Amino acid sequence: MKMATGHWIVANTKANCELFAVDQVQQQGFDAYCPAFEAMVRHARKTSVRKKKPCFQATYLSG
């Protein structure tokens, strides 16, 4: 994906919906960037699971 060199927009999203919002913006044909990392999620009586979590809660960048 080629990143735009024009103006950038920071969007405020609902909590835990950042990656969904980025997906929706990209489907509309815009470039979107949401820095994320893999985190281990552990639950009682379950094995550990790796989940992608955004670095900044409730925000993403669109250019």
Q: Are 38 and 52 in contact (CB under 8 A)?
A: yes
Q: What is the pTM for the complete model shown?
A: 0.61
Residue 41 lies in a domain: yes
pLDDT tens, residue order, the chain (63 aa): 555 567 778 888 887 888 888 899 899 998 888 888 888 877 777 777 777 777 776 665 565
Residue 2 lies in a domain: no
Residue 1 lies in a domain: no
Alpha helices by DSSP H, listed for 1-63, are 18-27
Total tally of structural domains belonging to the chain: 1
Beginning with the edge strand found earlier in the chain, give each strand of the sheet holding 59-62 in spatial order.
9-12, 59-62, 32-33
Range of the domain at 31: 9-62
């250019």: which residue's tokens? 63
Residue 4 lies in a domain: no
Residue 3 lies in a domain: no
